[in-house]
């Protein structure tokens, strides 16, 4: 008799095909600040949550919303329906409560406010090879468009900080900084990497380098930390201006924004900013060389199609080829959190 375990099943197909349902549940809860407000009260009934969030749906749909979040692991529940009491799960409490150090809601906000609708046009992006976001009918540069609005700029900076904070913490502790004294973070956004390295490596002085419009936000975020004596900012265009010289040059989610010629141009500028023995580090979702395991990295690469049209994520073998062509002597890779790694090249 044939083993039923080998029988075909549509379960995984439907789970992935309807994946946007569960995604939107989480994104809506984050937008409502449900987890933050629950943390303030410790626990609440469904009716208390309904009043707090000013929801006008029926009670059964309220229970559907909260119980689905429970089933997905974001909430804990005691009791059922009218008698149910809800509280945050361990992960929600750690990562989805505003003002907690590991908060990742900034990225989820951007997924909800921008990328959710743009990914609805993935088919068009694949058919045309063109971006499907704000620059679809206008500016040819995503960042020029994003930076026109102070609100959208701040949302983008918060998103970039929140998606990478776990990786930055891991990198700051796993990378051997003992031979180095200075670091430049190219495309440093809100200086999250620089302040994180300064926290874990008291001997390091760090510079967050980004466009002039970003600098005031970075300065404000640095001022809220105890590391302002060792973390500074520098402003400029990383294609037009030289990088601030340092022993270590880092790019977090920067290389994947661009096509191969621009990737090589940035690598050359990083090489020029480093001393002999210095290190260049790319912190990104480096795709495994056989392109079978890091599915998130490949989806992030498709996100670059949506966002830029020509940017893409890459394998470590591609990183090795590019850095060797620029003149770097050797490379290594350090796994960080989830699908992310630090790809390192030594001058």
Residue with tokens 């620089």: 194
pTM summary value: 0.86
The rounded distance, in Å, linking the Cα atoms of 143 and 133 is 11
Residue positions counted in the chain: 347
Q: Which pLDDT score is estimated for 2?
A: 44
User: Average pLDDT in the 148-156 region?
Assistant: 72
Whether pLDDT at 342 is above 90: yes
Q: What share of the chain is helix, strand, coil (3-state, %, to 5)?
A: 50, 15, 35
Residue 139 binned pLDDT confidence (cut-offs 50, 70, 90)? low
Residue 199 binned pLDDT confidence (cut-offs 50, 70, 90)? very high
The full 3-state SS of 144-194, as one line of letters, equals HHHCCCHHHHHHHHHHHHHHHHHHHHHHHHHCCCCCCCEEEEECCCCCHHH
Q: Which pLDDT score is estimated for 147?
A: 67
Q: Which pLDDT score is estimated for 143?
A: 67
Burial of 133 (0-12, 13-18, 19+ CB in 10 A): buried
Residue 36 binned pLDDT confidence (cut-offs 50, 70, 90)? very high
The rounded distance, in Å, linking the Cα atoms of 126 and 129 is 5
The predicted-structure confidence for 239-291, as pLDDT tens digits, reads as follows 999 999 999 999 999 999 999 999 999 999 999 999 999 999 999 999 999 99
Please, where are the H alpha helices in 54-149?
A: 59-71, 90-95, 105-110, 116-118, 122-128, 142-146
In 3D space, the residue among 297, 286, 299, 270 whose CA is nearest the CA of residue 332 turns out to be 286
Q: Which residues contact 291 (CB under 8 A, 6 or more apart)?
A: 298, 315
User: Average pLDDT in the 23-43 region?
Assistant: 96
User: Average pLDDT in the 103-127 region?
Assistant: 91
Q: Which pLDDT score is estimated for 107?
A: 86
The rounded distance, in Å, linking the Cα atoms of 323 and 317 is 10
Whether pLDDT at 87 is above 90: yes
Q: Which pLDDT score is estimated for 258?
A: 95
User: In the predicted model, what is the mean pLDDT of the chain?
Assistant: 91
In 3D space, the residue among 250, 201, 206 whose CA is nearest the CA of residue 228 turns out to be 206
Angle at alpha carbon of residue 161, lines to 158 and 167, rounded to 5°: 160
Whether pLDDT at 93 is above 80: yes
């Amino acid at each position: 008799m044939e083993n039923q375990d080998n029988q075909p099943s549509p379960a995984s197909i439907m789970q992935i095909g309807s994946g946007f349902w569960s995604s939107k549940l989480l994104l809506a809860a984050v937008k409502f600040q449900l987890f933050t407000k629950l943390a303030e009260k410790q626990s609440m009934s469904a009716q208390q949550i309904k009043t707090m969030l000013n929801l006008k749906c029926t009670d059964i749909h309220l229970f559907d919303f909260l119980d689905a979040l429970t089933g997905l692991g974001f909430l804990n529940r005691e009791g059922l329906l009218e008698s149910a009491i809800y509280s945050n799960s361990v992960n929600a409490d750690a990562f989805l409560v505003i003002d907690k150090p590991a908060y990742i809601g900034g990225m989820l906000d951007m997924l909800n406010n921008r990328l959710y609708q743009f990914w609805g046009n993935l088919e068009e992006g694949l058919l045309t090879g063109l971006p499907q976001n704000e620059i679809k009918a206008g500016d040819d540069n995503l960042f020029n468009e994003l930076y026109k609005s102070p609100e959208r700029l701040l949302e983008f900076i918060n998103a970039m900080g929140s998606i990478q904070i776990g990786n930055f913490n891991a990198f700051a502790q796993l990378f051997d900084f003992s031979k180095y004294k200075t670091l430049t973070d190219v495309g440093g956004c809100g200086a999250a990497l620089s302040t994180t390295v300064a926290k874990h490596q008291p001997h390091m002085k760090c510079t967050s380098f980004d466009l002039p419009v970003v600098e005031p936000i970075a300065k404000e975020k640095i001022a809220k930390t105890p590391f302002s004596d060792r973390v500074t900012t520098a402003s400029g265009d990383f294609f037009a201006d030289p990088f601030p010289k340092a022993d270590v040059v880092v790019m977090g989610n920067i290389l994947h924004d661009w096509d191969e010629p621009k990737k090589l141009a940035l690598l050359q500028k990083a090489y020029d900013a480093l001393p002999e023995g210095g290190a260049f580090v790319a912190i990104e979702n480096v795709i495994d060389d056989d392109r079978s395991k890091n599915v998130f990295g490949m989806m992030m690469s498709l996100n670059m199609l949506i966002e830029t049209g020509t940017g893409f994520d890459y394998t470590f073998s591609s990183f090795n080829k590019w850095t060797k062509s620029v003149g770097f002597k050797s490379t290594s890779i350090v796994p960080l959190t989830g699908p992310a790694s630090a790809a390192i090249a030594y001058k």
